[in-house]
Amino acid sequence: MIPILDSKRQYAQIGKEIEKEVLEVLASGSYILGKHNKALQEEFANYVGSKYSLGLNSGTDALHLALRALNIGRGDEVITTAFTFVATASAIGLAGATPVFVDIDENTFNIDPDKIEAAITPKTKAIIPVHLYGQPAAMDKIMDIAKRHNLKVVEDCCQAIGAEYKGQKVGTFGDFGCFSFYPTKNLGGMGDGGMITCSDQALFDRIVALRNHGGAIRYYHDELGVNSRLDEIQAAILRVKLNYIDEWNKARQENAYRYNALFAKYPEIETPKEIENSYCVYHQYTIKIENRDEVHKLLQENGVGAMIYYPVPLHLQKLHKELGYKVGDLPLTEKDTKLVMSLPMFPELTAEEQETVVETVINCLRMTKQAV
């Protein structure tokens, strides 16, 4: 079996280092908001290139609190993509605002900046671009639109730590960058976790208060907030892993290019395209393939752990039925939803395994065609 992700191989590489740090935390008696949390926040901000960063419970919290800090809520609209994980949109709903979905770009799976302006109304307050699968969204155009229409920008960087657009890391373009340390992400913890980045002191202070039950001073609460912290064990683990992230992202990229080369002689497979002037970190390696569902099923039976991210676009989820979207509203999103399939992708994946994956995908596709 070649799994979509094998976290145990990474552990084999760095387990000793992690065990040492974790044992030290256990013995220290300091489990929340300790020295590792503080150090990680500084190291993370340095890495990304933002002024501030704050550890939180999850990427979902980062997105939700970003909108709260920007005073976005009831009666407001936030533009985003429907081709993403549900948390991008549920953060908007949790803040009390309404998601407005814009179709994707044909090549990159990310929001099409040329379709954003048509979706802007007097109620629009912000845009949430998602750097899906580790590929930066078109941040030049998006920031330009936001400036011209006086909109805030919250970047969903949960799949894209380390990705760059025109030499600048994602998470530094908008008002906030939101990151997840869910174990399957490129920088994954060993439990839940998240981080928010920003470079504005006032906005940062607001996040600090919101995540502390709405109060900057202990036991004094000015507004409704939440409890959201990154625990010390996760922070210690993530500090070790942050030292490797560039190496791991590079290995992912090399694996992606190896897949591209192996698929090159099979025009029936559409391999991922990169937006110009970017550094893509391949959280997923996602192809487009016909007879997708049958191929996917055959791959599972033949030992290849492919996955569908995501089987239902967000505008057609039951969760959003009151928004009134119907089939056909976002044609490119709906088309790609039926074609995409993500293949095994992680830094330690071997060239041999990749050859097996490609061979198996091609064989399975042929089987579906013969069956018809």
Q: Which of residues 161-190 bind ligand PLP (CB under 6 A)?
A: 180, 182
Q: If binding is defined by CB under 6 A, does position 155 make contact with ligand PLP?
A: no
Specify which residues 164 forms β-bridges with. Answer: 169, 279
Q: Which is nearer to ligand PLP, 112 or 192 (CB)?
A: 192
Q: If binding is defined by CB under 6 A, does position 142 make contact with ligand PLP?
A: no
Q: If binding is defined by CB under 6 A, does position 59 make contact with ligand PLP?
A: yes
Q: If binding is defined by CB under 6 A, does position 129 make contact with ligand PLP?
A: no
Q: Which is nearer to ligand PLP, 55 or 347 (CB)?
A: 55
Pairing state of beta strands 340-343 and 285-288?
antiparallel
Q: How far is Cα 118 from Cα 83, in angstroms, rounded to an integer?
A: 18
Q: How far is Cα 353 from Cα 303, in angstroms, rounded to an integer?
A: 11
Q: What is the smallest separation between the CB atom of 290 and ligand PLP, expressed in angstroms?
A: 26
Binding ligand PLP by CB under 6 A: which of 194, 225, 313, 344?
194
Q: Which residues, other chains included, contact 271 with Cβ-Cβ below 8 Å and sequence gap of 6+?
A: 259, 260, 263, 264, 287
Q: What is the smallest separation between the CB atom of 296 and ligand PLP, expressed in angstroms?
A: 20
HSE-up of 30 (CA within 13 Å, CB side)?
12
Q: If binding is defined by CB under 6 A, does position 85 make contact with ligand PLP?
A: yes
**Cα distances (Å, whole numbers) of residue 245 to 194, 240, 249, 325:** 16, 10, 6, 39
Q: How far is Cα 112 from Cα 103, in angstroms, rounded to an integer?
A: 6
Q: Which residue in the block uniquely carries the two structure tokens 């590489």?
A: 13
Q: If binding is defined by CB under 6 A, does position 158 make contact with ligand PLP?
A: yes
Q: How far is Cα 266 from Cα 269, in angstroms, rounded to an integer?
A: 6
Q: What is the smallest separation between the CB atom of 109 and ligand PLP, expressed in angstroms?
A: 11
Q: Which of residues 87-106 bind ligand PLP (CB under 6 A)?
A: 87-88
Instruction: List contacts with ligand PLP (CB under 6 A).
Output: 58-60, 84-85, 87-88, 130, 156, 158-159, 180, 182, 192, 194
